[in-house]
Amino acid sequence: MAFINIDKKELKDLVKILEDSSLSEIKLADGESKITLTKNFGQVVSNFAPVASAPAPAVVAEVVEEVAEEDHPGAIKSPMVGNVYLKPSPDADTFVKIGDSVKAGDTILIVEAMKVMNPIKAEKSGVVKQICVQDAQPVEFDQVLAIIE
């Protein structure tokens, strides 16, 4: 497997750009290989994979603009102020993970308000693209909790 010719400083600079911007992803391709840097939960994840294509004479960069979370058509917003829980109990697995397929009506998390656990359900079927909160985090009314596409 061939790798893109990029030094650590250039890679760190790209990660910094991604972390400090509203971009969700940066893609680089060079001949038969590519690098995709994706931002999730404020963390940057890199994915190296070979690409079947003709050799390119130079590195090509593609930057994907991110739609603001609150304006995203698949945004699931908190209907109340409270604490969000990503799992039904401390020992259980999370309701959903990024990449999971969900159906309309599936519980994706819980918002606890005034000691009442309120299930937050998927409004449409799709794939969980982003979870915008962390377990046991306080949330505000209308705050984006997750994005389903």
**49-64 pLDDT tens trace:** 444 544 444 444 444 4
Residue 55 tokens, joined: 């050799």
pLDDT above 60 for 118: yes
Q: Are 148 and 122 in contact (CB under 8 A)?
A: yes
The model carries a pTM of 0.55
Which three-class secondary structure state does DSSP give residue 22? Answer: coil
pLDDT above 50 for 94: yes
Per domain, the residue ranges of the chain are: 8-66, 71-148
The CATH architecture to which 71-148 belongs is Beta Barrel (2.40)
- pLDDT the model gives residue 76: 93
pLDDT tens digits along 16-41? 887 777 777 777 776 666 777 776 64
- pLDDT the model gives residue 19: 76
Task: Give the angle subtended at the CA of 50 by the CAs of 45 and 51, to the nearest 5°.
Answer: 110
d(CA 130, CA 97): 8
pLDDT above 60 for 97: yes
